[in-house]
């Protein structure tokens, strides 16, 4: 799925996926492993998945981006393909300090894909471009 995650993390997500398919819940030992591997992101991410906060937006041309509504209701744009989230925790804890693998939003995306609870939405090309290039959009007219 994604080469930026360590093998142990990918393996764990796969185990969660198959366990969930069989038992329709995540067994305790896998939950513990999730906390061990993903640290402080694990519990809030599970909470986001419970509240179905993850939406996958796809354009007709096949480009995709994820939106995760955070605990405060703010929408974060996440690029699962390049392992990036627009939230402050990602910038500070993941990029600068390197103390976490991912923020809770990215983990919520991985989990919702594994559990099959991701909402799917098809959006026009223009709308997706705006999400992908928010800074450029601010400085010029909305003219694709």
Nearer to Zn ion, 20 or 90 (CB): 90
Cα end-to-end span (Å), the chain: 31
By the rule CB under 5 A, 80 interacts with Zn ion: no
User: Min. distance of Cβ 105 from Zn ion in angstroms?
Assistant: 3
Task: Please select the residue that binds Zn ion; options are 90, 111, 112, 115, rule is CB under 5 A.
Answer: 90
User: Does residue 77 sit in helix, strand or coil?
Assistant: strand
| Adjacent-strand bridge partners of 75 | 69
Task: Please select the residue that binds Zn ion; options are 33, 87, 94, 118, rule is CB under 5 A.
Answer: 87
By the rule CB under 5 A, 118 interacts with Zn ion: no
For residues 84, 89, 95 and 96, what is the CA-based torsion angle, rounded to 10 degrees? Answer: 160
By the rule CB under 5 A, 65 interacts with Zn ion: no
By the rule CB under 5 A, 85 interacts with Zn ion: yes
Cβ 34 vs Cβ 129: under 8 Å: no
Nearer to Zn ion, 48 or 128 (CB): 48
Dihedral sign, Cα of residue 104, residue 107, residue 111, residue 112:
positive
By the rule CB under 5 A, 102 interacts with Zn ion: no
Contacts with Zn ion, residue ranges (CB under 5 A): 85, 87, 90, 103, 105
């Amino acid at each position: 799925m994604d080469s930026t995650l360590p093998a142990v993390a990918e393996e764990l997500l796969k185990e969660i996926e198959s366990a969930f398919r069989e038992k329709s819940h995540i067994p305790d030992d896998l939950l513990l492993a999730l906390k061990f591997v993903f640290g402080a992101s694990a519990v809030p991410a599970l909470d986001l998945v419970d509240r179905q906060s993850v939406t996958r937006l796809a354009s007709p041309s096949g480009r995709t981006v994820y939106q995760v509504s955070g605990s405060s209701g703010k929408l974060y744009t996440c690029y699962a393909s390049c392992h990036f989230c627009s939230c402050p925790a990602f910038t500070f804890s993941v990029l600068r300090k390197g103390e976490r693998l991912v923020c809770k939003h990215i983990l919520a995306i991985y989990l919702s894909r594994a559990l099959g609870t991701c909402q799917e939405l098809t959006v026009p090309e223009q709308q997706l471009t705006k999400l992908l290039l928010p800074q450029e959009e601010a400085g010029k007219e909305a003219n694709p």
